[in-house]
Structure 1
Amino acid sequence: MSVASACAWAADAFFDDVPIVLTASRMAQSPVDAPVAVTLIDREMIEASGFTEIHELMRLVPGFLVADWPDGSPMVANHGMSDAYDRRIKIMIDGRTVNSPAWGNTNWHDLPLRVDDVERIEVVRGPNGAAYGVNAFDGVINIITRSPATESGVAVISRIGDDGFHDHGFRINGDADAAIDWRLSGSHRRAVNFRPYRNEDGALEARKIVERSVLNFGATAQLSTQDELQWMLGLSRGSTDRGAPGSLEHPLREDDIHAHYVHLGWKRSFAVDSELSVQFHHQRERARVPWQVTVPGLGLLSVGMDSDAQREELEVQYGARLSPAWRFMLGAGVRREAARSRSMFDTGSTISGVSSQLFGSVVWSPVEHLRVDLGGTLEDHHYSGSLFSPRLALGYALTPDSALRFSAGVSYRTPSLIESHAMQVIRVGSEIKRIGAWAGADTQPERVRHAELGYAAMFRELGLGVDVRAFYQEYDDYVDDERCWYPLQPWERPPRESAWACPPPPVDFAPIEWDWQASRGPSSFVFRNVGSFRVTGGEFSIDWRRPGWGRVVLSQAIIDVDVQGASVDEDFETSAPSSITSLLLIKELPGRWRASLGYYRHSSMNWLNDGDRVPEQDRVDLKLSRRFGGANSGSEVALVAQSVGGRYVDFHAGRYRREPQLFGSLRLTW
């Protein structure tokens, strides 16, 4: 069963005694039977958390970190080891990839859907290249939307808070007995994530005010008893007011953002566990960035930071059960990725590439209780060539609802279009005055060899779910942007013996005189393979619920990063916190009241590159809500306080302070 085509069916199955996951191996299965560790964030957790942005929900996943900064998109990391561009986790919506084709990261603010559109989120907490190929490198996040077939009626929601925060939305569903199940949803949101913050040197740091409007349409038509057609359309438009007065690095500006997608799918069901599906996805992102900086000696310069990126992908998948002991899945896909940015590529032309992949898995039960899962993806990548990502998983059922799991495999991450083609320049006339990011020559794909030992169980009589795992991940050919130096004068050597000399610049490179006069001279950042490291650790999560009392979801991760004699960033060994804790407490109260508390903690760490040290810190969120209306009504009034302790350090202790948020919400359904 394909990831997208199974959404409507699984929306009901998820609430049965045995939940179903779709993302671990592209086949519907219990989390106990999955070949890799999977976390489910269900609708109850989404509502109780009080989060209004999808990326914030990743705080509920063992070992995951969330951060934001004023000059870019938020980032999500698994076990740290990340910078301002979270390009090592594959993000999907209903099975379609939404990572940006340019950087490979996810523009979380620009996703054309809102928290209210999400039914649940499935998170694979480790490499999963065997199922999804390159770039499913440190994990997979599959955001599964609420199916039109499982909803009815109309809903409106309004959230209003301090500092001009508002988030208004609606949902309209077609008639339950209509030939086509459809849903139309929309929202408009404004939030101040960062106010100008005066650092220890007295300088103002950048602000960030995000404003977005989102419109979504989804429909499903049952063409026959065997055939189903699905189509989804989404649009996100808005602006981000960001920057700091007088800053060269973060000038004041208002970025204009547009993103949209089209998703078409058809499936034919032949029998139980036997299905053919075809999917086509189109995604486009557009940013118009009025970047103007004042450069000593040159005055005010307009830098063309506008960008366009898009992806088209076609995928075919077939799965069937051959016998009680054998089950298989086989599929193929082709995708085209393209990006255009005059400043990032020093050209007005479009940079593009076409890749294809063949993927599959076989599950075999040779004896009772034992399950063997073999999977792999063979990919022909437009830049990195042929790559094969295999996985072997063994599962041993201790009881019908508990099992031990061992899995091992190899996964890859290929350089993004920017990492493989960038030549980021500032031009004045025919001369290049500054070179920023620069693609290195023949950058190799990153590789991770991974293994994990896990235990998953559901104790139904106790209302308890348990997930424990130990993991080992060995990374090679890590890609980073390393600073390089040009000579102080054309005839001189780099200023320090340890400095890395930049590659020979273009003939029209004439650096700004102010750069030459600086003590270290002009410099650039070159993407290149910088080394190897090893990550080991363990995680556990406990999910306990009792009807009438409430629910407790607790997770803990322990992480150790060991750099193995390579030239990676000197902060690399501290780029993951040694400990990450997450707690969501949901308490049912009399009179249809409900209280929830979210507690999120990590020990001190260093975000890489644009980030820096973040001390040990805690965040506490509170929500108090009351349902009203009929017994099955979704109407609710609530008060939410996020980060009740006030401003907190985010991404860089010396520069960025994230704002707390207090707001009330009203949801009406009929």
Structure 2
Amino acid sequence: MPILLRTSTAPSLTCIPLLLTAIGLASPARAASPSEADHLGDLPVVLSATRLAQVQSDAPGAVSIIDRAMISASGARNLNELFRLVPGFQVGMHTGNKPLVGYHGLSDEAPRRMLVQVDGRSVYSPYFTAGVEWNQIGVDIDDIERIEVFRGSNSATYGSNAFLGVANIITRAPAETLGTRVRYRAGDGGVNDIGLRVGRQLGDVAMRLSVARNFDHGFAGLNDWRKTELATLHTQWAADSDNSIEFQAGWTHSNLGTGKEDNPTDPERRSQTTTSFGLIHWHHAPAPGEELSVSYYHQEENGRDNFDLLVPVTSRQSGLPFAVQLPLRFDYDFHVIRDDLEVQRITTLAPSLRAVVGAGMRVDRITAPLRFNTSDSIRNAVNHAFGTLEWRASPRWLFNVGAMIEDNSLTGRSFAPRASANYHVSDSQTWRISVNRSHRNPVAFEQKSSMIFSTSAPVSTPIGTLPAGTPISQTFRPSPGVRAERITTYELGYRAELRPLHASLDARVFLEQARDLIEMNIEPSTIGLLRRNNNRYFANSGEADIRGLELAATWRPATDTWLQLNHTELRIDGPTISAADAARRPSGWVEYTAPRHSTTLFGAWRFAPRWQISAAKHWIGFMSWYQDADHKVPMYRQLDVRLAHRLPPALARGELAITASNIDGPEETYAPGTSVWGSRVFGSLSLEL
């Protein structure tokens, strides 16, 4: 069966002509595919760079692959941890249940400049300030086949959210996970995880049901415990040799500890988030090099975090001649509905010419009264059309051009082009040059936020009664003039596949010019009893020039034995601004938002028929998550080690493993003194029945 590629985007009836046009433009030419099998050989094929199946040396940018063997050997419990294994990424923990993942800096406590997909379903959440809610991705780590990471901007293929990179999480086909598998994991920090997977083949239908629960206590001294539960159903029906239909459904529920001890407006409490989705994907492949696919998914997300407090206000704070206790309702509840439809056509126009075209439409409806100061839903519709043309001009030269047009109801129309040329010096060495323009549309919160806290009941005072609903304080005001961010990327790449040595080398030098970056600024408030001097709003006040070098060298003589070295040199230059401006806006500190030097050494060794040892060592330079220079995270080192034993078949089919994470000492990955991540040791047992 052909490899499926599913991507996301979005609905409004105005986009239906685009869908029909995309199908018509890619008429079912039956030209035979060029001798691609000879060209690809036994090299890994990636799907995420252009939506066409390509070897890494043909992609218009650098692509890293984390396969199933690497995921297992890493000992990772959570998806975010795996991005430590990719050059150029920054991974931190704001608290024990709030992961942070960024690429090339420009991040804060809610990184939002990278797109993450699961089987083509976008898990980018353009609702509030965060781009990816890592606790709500809704895929069990044991069900992942591989993760493809496109290192760099790629709006030409995936739209506005692919501003600094794209991660496509591809799960295993249900037919490859038949039988029953159970997993149990326990250890330090209250780690207590269980998982169950059941796979069945019913005629032409393969199906997999996975359920899991992960629990831990978080960091010592913080109310940041986490319990995440999920259930997913994945089915594939091979209707005939040309057609297949895939259905997925999932549910994820997270209970998280949040708040701070002795904080009058942010007390310790529990928050809850529930995400559910259903996806259907039809794939039609009538001939080699010819594919038509249609996908649709519906997703709902509900958040529950509300509480009542009596907040003491002094006369100095309010300007009134007396102190008062104000009853306030803190209601951060939200409800989000997303509908997403996309059609895509891959065709072979000539023996040396391939194309992919498509269009889609997405609608998000967001209800969050406190965040937007309205009980009405905020609606955001995005329509898009895209196309990519790949021309193999000769055995040495490969050219790729692509573009996407988006129409966003919040920000209007945008255009994202890309062009690249790959020169194959030999069968084992390739040079690549590419340039692209990408953008990131503001999320609804960045443009329409209006957070005003009001009294939840009448308040008697010496000068009269304050009625319920009296505005007390404003913390965010709307920013209707916010525009899309822009980034132009220039890249020179080199890739060597030294197959006789079982080795590969990938190098990339780049310049990324980001303009109109959306930043949080502050000003005095004009609304409410408490006149604050730090009311927040968003503006296109930032810019950055990001330049650097990424190296990835791998020696892999066997699937379960390898040594991989990643190194990144990164420099970020921000605008030249005055000290007064620097105190008001963060763009003067963008240079600190990624470490200048970072190195990872990751290896595994199958030293006996049923034994494997693996280790990852990270050297990370100092950085700051969009904070001032006084809050830079110091450089740190991290060592993770895992020892695994495949059980003897006579005893049981399964694996027993022990993982020691961060065993070389506690580290601070977000801000000094706010959260300390210590060592953690846990064991796991998995059995296949």
Q: Choose which of 11, 14, 36 in structure 1 pairs with 2:61.
A: 36
The alpha-carbon deviation at position 320 of structure 1 amounts to 1.1
3-state DSSP of counterpart to 1:193: coil
C-alpha distance 165-228 of structure 1, shift in aligned 2 (>3 A): same
* Residues in 1 aligned to 2:651 and 2:203: alpha-carbon distance in whole angstroms: 22
- Residue aligning to 2:500: 461
Q: Where does the alignment leave 5 or more consecutive residues of structure 2 unmatched?
A: 8-37, 314-324, 456-467
- Residue aligning to 1:592: 610
Instruction: Report if the CA contact (8 A) 1:71-1:243 is conserved.
Output: no
The alpha-carbon deviation at position 632 of structure 1 amounts to 14
- Residue aligning to 1:118: 144
- Residue aligning to 2:42: 17
Q: Choose which of 374, 379, 389 in structure 2 pairs with 1:352.
A: 379
- Residue aligning to 1:385: 412
Instruction: Report if the CA contact (8 A) 1:511-1:522 is conserved.
Output: no
| Code of the aligned partner of 1:142 | N
- Residue aligning to 1:63: 88
Q: Choose which of 106, 109, 120 in structure 2 pairs with 1:81.
A: 106
Between 646-655 and 597-606, report the one with greater CA deviation.
Answer: 646-655
- Residue aligning to 1:582: 600
* Residues in 1 aligned to 2:659 and 2:304: alpha-carbon distance in whole angstroms: 34
| Code of the aligned partner of 2:397 | L
The alpha-carbon deviation at position 340 of structure 1 amounts to 1.3
- Residue aligning to 2:15: none
3-state DSSP of counterpart to 2:105: coil
Q: Where does the alignment leave 5 or more consecutive residues of structure 1 unmatched?
A: 7-12, 197-205, 487-504
- Residue aligning to 1:96: 121
* Residues in 2 aligned to 1:547 and 1:436: alpha-carbon distance in whole angstroms: 56
Q: What are the Cα deviations for residues 126-163 of structure 1, in whole angstroms up to 9, with x where unaligned?
A: 10011011111010011111110222211111001123
Percent sequence identity over aligned pairs: 29
After the TM superposition, which residues 314-463 of structure 1 pair with which residues of structure 2 at under 5 Å, given as runs? 314-428=341-455, 429-463=468-502
The alpha-carbon deviation at position 5 of structure 1 amounts to 5.5
Q: What are the Cα deviations for residues 153-196 of structure 1, in whole angstroms up to 9, with x where unaligned?
A: 11111001123211100111113x73201101110110122222
Q: What are the Cα deviations for residues 331-354 of structure 1, in whole angstroms up to 9, with x where unaligned?
A: 000000121111110111110111
The alpha-carbon deviation at position 241 of structure 1 amounts to 1.5
| Code of the aligned partner of 2:278 | V
Is it true that 1:561 corresponds to 2:566 in the alignment?
Answer: no
The alpha-carbon deviation at position 571 of structure 1 amounts to 2.2
C-alpha distance 659-338 of structure 1, shift in aligned 2 (>3 A): farther
Instruction: Report if the CA contact (8 A) 2:504-2:555 is conserved.
Output: yes
- Residue aligning to 2:619: 601
Q: What are the Cα deviations for residues 245-304 of structure 1, in whole angstroms up to 9, with x where unaligned?
A: 211464211012211111110011021121000000222211100345552223553311
| Code of the aligned partner of 1:4 | L
* Residues in 2 aligned to 1:406 and 1:621: alpha-carbon distance in whole angstroms: 36
Q: Choose which of 252, 256, 259 in structure 1 pairs with 2:272.
A: 256
**TM-score normalised to the size of structure 1?**
0.90
* Residues in 1 aligned to 2:46 and 2:494: alpha-carbon distance in whole angstroms: 16
Q: What are the Cα deviations for residues 614-658 of structure 1, in whole angstroms up to 9, with x where unaligned?
A: 000011111111012449986100111111123310211131112
* Residues in 2 aligned to 1:339 and 1:305: alpha-carbon distance in whole angstroms: 13
C-alpha distance 531-548 of structure 1, shift in aligned 2 (>3 A): closer
* Residues in 2 aligned to 1:152 and 1:27: alpha-carbon distance in whole angstroms: 29
The alpha-carbon deviation at position 662 of structure 1 amounts to 1.1
Aligned Cα RMSD in Å?
A: 2.3
Instruction: Report if the CA contact (8 A) 2:124-2:161 is conserved.
Output: no
The alpha-carbon deviation at position 72 of structure 1 amounts to 7.1
* Residues in 2 aligned to 1:236 and 1:587: alpha-carbon distance in whole angstroms: 35
Q: What are the Cα deviations for residues 207-233 of structure 1, in whole angstroms up to 9, with x where unaligned?
A: 210101110100000111111000001
Instruction: Report if the CA contact (8 A) 2:614-2:641 is conserved.
Output: yes
- Residue aligning to 1:239: 255
* Residues in 2 aligned to 1:464 and 1:323: alpha-carbon distance in whole angstroms: 34
3-state DSSP of counterpart to 1:194: coil
* Residues in 1 aligned to 2:264 and 2:627: alpha-carbon distance in whole angstroms: 18
* Residues in 2 aligned to 1:402 and 1:278: alpha-carbon distance in whole angstroms: 36
3-state DSSP of counterpart to 1:354: strand
- Residue aligning to 1:493: none
3-state DSSP of counterpart to 1:573: helix
Q: What are the Cα deviations for residues 31-74 of structure 1, in whole angstroms up to 9, with x where unaligned?
A: 11101111000001100000000111011000101112239732
Instruction: Report if the CA contact (8 A) 1:557-1:581 is conserved.
Output: yes
C-alpha distance 642-188 of structure 1, shift in aligned 2 (>3 A): same
| Code of the aligned partner of 1:39 | S
- Residue aligning to 2:537: 526
Instruction: Report if the CA contact (8 A) 2:93-2:99 is conserved.
Output: yes
| Code of the aligned partner of 2:92 | A
Is it true that 1:142 corresponds to 2:153 in the alignment?
Answer: no
C-alpha distance 526-5 of structure 1, shift in aligned 2 (>3 A): closer
C-alpha distance 247-602 of structure 1, shift in aligned 2 (>3 A): same
* Residues in 1 aligned to 2:625 and 2:559: alpha-carbon distance in whole angstroms: 42
- Residue aligning to 2:523: 484
C-alpha distance 435-652 of structure 1, shift in aligned 2 (>3 A): same
Between 224-233 and 561-570, report the one with greater CA deviation.
Answer: 561-570
Instruction: Report if the CA contact (8 A) 2:574-2:589 is conserved.
Output: no
Q: What are the Cα deviations for residues 545-586 of structure 1, in whole angstroms up to 9, with x where unaligned?
A: 123982111100100011133565132211111011112111
* Residues in 2 aligned to 1:659 and 1:284: alpha-carbon distance in whole angstroms: 35
Between 73-82 and 245-254, report the one with greater CA deviation.
Answer: 245-254
Between 263-272 and 248-257, report the one with greater CA deviation.
Answer: 248-257
- Residue aligning to 1:157: 183
The alpha-carbon deviation at position 542 of structure 1 amounts to 1.0
Instruction: Report if the CA contact (8 A) 1:397-1:403 is conserved.
Output: yes
C-alpha distance 302-352 of structure 1, shift in aligned 2 (>3 A): same
* Residues in 2 aligned to 1:389 and 1:215: alpha-carbon distance in whole angstroms: 37
- Residue aligning to 1:267: 283
* Residues in 2 aligned to 1:294 and 1:617: alpha-carbon distance in whole angstroms: 42
| Code of the aligned partner of 2:573 | D
- Residue aligning to 2:21: none
C-alpha distance 448-634 of structure 1, shift in aligned 2 (>3 A): farther
C-alpha distance 649-291 of structure 1, shift in aligned 2 (>3 A): farther
- Residue aligning to 2:218: 193
| Code of the aligned partner of 1:170 | L
| Code of the aligned partner of 1:480 | E
Q: Choose which of 153, 162, 165 in structure 2 pairs with 1:127.
A: 153
Q: What are the Cα deviations for residues 97-120 of structure 1, in whole angstroms up to 9, with x where unaligned?
A: 111131251110122112112111
The alpha-carbon deviation at position 401 of structure 1 amounts to 3.5
| Code of the aligned partner of 2:622 | S
Q: Choose which of 292, 295, 299 in structure 1 pairs with 2:311.
A: 295
C-alpha distance 162-654 of structure 1, shift in aligned 2 (>3 A): closer
Q: What are the Cα deviations for residues 55-94 of structure 1, in whole angstroms up to 9, with x where unaligned?
A: 1101100010111223973221111220111211011001
C-alpha distance 591-271 of structure 1, shift in aligned 2 (>3 A): closer
* Residues in 2 aligned to 1:467 and 1:294: alpha-carbon distance in whole angstroms: 58
**TM-score normalised to the size of structure 2?**
0.87
C-alpha distance 311-270 of structure 1, shift in aligned 2 (>3 A): same
* Residues in 1 aligned to 2:302 and 2:287: alpha-carbon distance in whole angstroms: 43
Is it true that 1:183 corresponds to 2:199 in the alignment?
Answer: no
Q: Choose which of 639, 658, 662 in structure 2 pairs with 1:639.
A: 658
Between 588-597 and 418-427, report the one with greater CA deviation.
Answer: 588-597
